[in-house]
Amino acid sequence: MIAIPAIDLREGACVQLVGGSYADERVRVKDPMDALKRWRSFGFKTFHVVDLDAALGKGSNEGPIGKLLTHEPGLTFSVGGGVRSMAKAEAVLALGASYVVVGTKAIEDPAWLREVAERFPGRVVVAADVKGREVVTRGWTSGSALDISDVLATLEPLSLGGLLVTAVHKEGQMEGVDLPLMEEVARASRHPLFASGGVTTMEDLRALGRVGAFGAVIGMALYTGKLEATEVAREFA
């Protein structure tokens, strides 16, 4: 399993929010490139970038994203946030992303997702943001009335690059992961699982690896020093 530092963008800065709430911002790095360089210095090679403003329809961080993706060859980036059209998916990949992450539109419009997955086989990661067991959309502000198991069933036939499952109820709280949820997803789906939400300790990472996660996205715990980056990189980078 690999550990993947999160680079969440808001108003051109790299931030960390609790539970996805704009009102509860705990970390702000003015220049996202400083965050990338910091994590690279420990040996991390794979990164997850989210345009929070685009996800909520409040703007775009395309400029900073472009700089991150072209800073150094050989790195792997998954990029999402507000990708709700074929043109936007294509643009993200054209910027240099290894994977484009689609969430709201993918959940609400399965036919569109199928079309995008066929256009870019193996390069589309579906973000399923889960609150309890319900998949939520639109920057975690809207319920879908869909259970995670129902969503997994619809995704199974598609040629995806993976599933990014975020336990919203754990996000940014540094209280541990929703291991039963992640184990269920890993068992139910053939797609690689990228787990997110609540990763706080080395044991969280090891447990995710044991239940079959391909990768774990880490945000708050790395940025606050709760997780020692050197230790994480040594075992999981």
Q: What is the pLDDT of residues 49-95, one digit of tens each?
A: 999 999 888 899 999 999 999 999 999 999 999 999 999 999 999 99
Q: What is the pLDDT of residues 190-203, one digit of tens each?
A: 999 999 999 999 99
Query: Is residue 214 within 8 Å of residue 2, measured between CB atoms?
Result: yes
Give me the DSSP letters along 131-156: ETTEEEETTTTEEEEEEHHHHHHHHT
Binned at pLDDT 50, 70 and 90, residue 143 comes out as low
195: which 2 tokens?
């787990």
92: which 2 tokens?
């993200």
Q: What is the pLDDT of residues 155-186, one digit of tens each?
A: 999 999 999 999 987 766 678 999 999 999 99
What SS3 class is residue 47?
strand
Lowest average pLDDT, out of 18-32, 146-160, 185-199, 205-219, goes to 18-32
Q: What is the pLDDT of residues 24-44, one digit of tens each?
A: 677 889 999 999 999 999 999
The question of whether 8 is a catalytic residue gets the answer yes
Active-site choice (53, 129, 178, 204) = 129
Give me the DSSP letters along 155-194: HTTS--SEEEEEETTTTTS-S---HHHHHHHHHH-SSPEE
